[in-house]
Chains A and B, each alone.
Chain A
């Protein structure tokens, strides 16, 4: 199992550019989510999904879009990058339907994004 993978590892964008951060998992997890981590802070939830075709907003969704067409993939799109979106982005996955299996959440290695 590769676990949760994210690409790219690093990215520099100019203000106004758009891009997609990729996230994939091979554990057949229903639940996937995106967090951002700003310097010296904890993670904040951007968007999440409980299965293919189902997404919802987290705490800080503005400026980001997601879709979930397959169980494995959960891309995060920045529509028009702003300097305030400079951050480290983590994707996570876990089981969802089975209470006994819901506990462990697996985090990807992160994407470090700088917007100039």
Chain B
């Protein structure tokens, strides 16, 4: 059974500083997703990582994937208030499109 663990569960950030969210998963997968969710809203797709060593960047967010370690990281550079949200990683099983989600990391960026 695929299990996905995120940490930390909560991250209080100071504006301008760098932070990392970790996503560990338990079995082989060929796809890892990062989503952002604002309160009361749906999920917004940030990144899809497909292969070992994949790195994707968009603005202040950068995601990477190490399939051997079964670990993905979401790095936030110079945090700003607009990045306050909950971030989820999700892993697709090798059998198809079923996603198993981590528990989420609630990010609060303080001025």
Contact = CB atoms under 8 A, between A and B. Distances in A.
A103 B48 contact: yes
A58 interface: yes
Interface in B29-76: 31, 33, 41-43, 45, 48, 50
Nearest to A109: B42
Of A58, A104, A107, most buried by chain B (CB within 10 Å of CB) is: A107
Chain B interface residue count: which class?
Answer: 20 to 34
A42 B42 contact: no
A40 B104 CA distance: 8
Chain A interface residue count: which class?
Answer: 20 to 34
A102 B29 CA distance: 14
Contacts of A94: 97
A105 B42 contact: no
Contacts of B25: none
Of B42, B98, B104, most buried by chain A (CB within 10 Å of CB) is: B42
Contact of B42 (A41, A48, A110): A110
B97 A102 contact: yes
A42 B101 CA distance: 5
Contact of B98 (A41, A48, A104): A48
Contacts of B88: 42-43
B42 A43 contact: no
Contacts of B99: 33, 35, 43, 45, 92, 105
Contacts of B97: 31, 33, 48, 94, 96, 102, 105
A110 B44 CA distance: 12
B29 to A, nearest CB: 13
A29 B86 CA distance: 27
